[in-house]
Amino acid sequence: SLTHSRHSRHLGACAEALSRFGDIIGDTGDTGDLAVAAEQLRVARRELGRITGHVGANDILDVIFRDFCVGK
C-alpha cells in the first residue's frame, strides 16, 4: 500500500542516517566531527517524525523558507 511504501522509505532514510552517524563516531568511540554526527541524528529523528506525525519547529521553518522565499 501507499502508506507502507512511505513508511518503508522513511525508515530506510532513518537507517541510512544512523549508519552514517555510526561511521562518524566509529567503533573506537572516536568522536569524529560532532557537528556532522549530530546532523545525522537530527535527520534520523526527522524521518521517524514523518512516520509518527511529529513535526518540530525546524520542520516548519524549513517549509516556510523553502516555499515562501522569506528573506530573498
| pTM, to two decimals | 0.69
Interval 51-67 mean pLDDT: 76
pLDDT in tens, 10-36: 999 999 999 999 988 876 566 667 888
23 phi, psi to nearest 5 deg: -65, -40
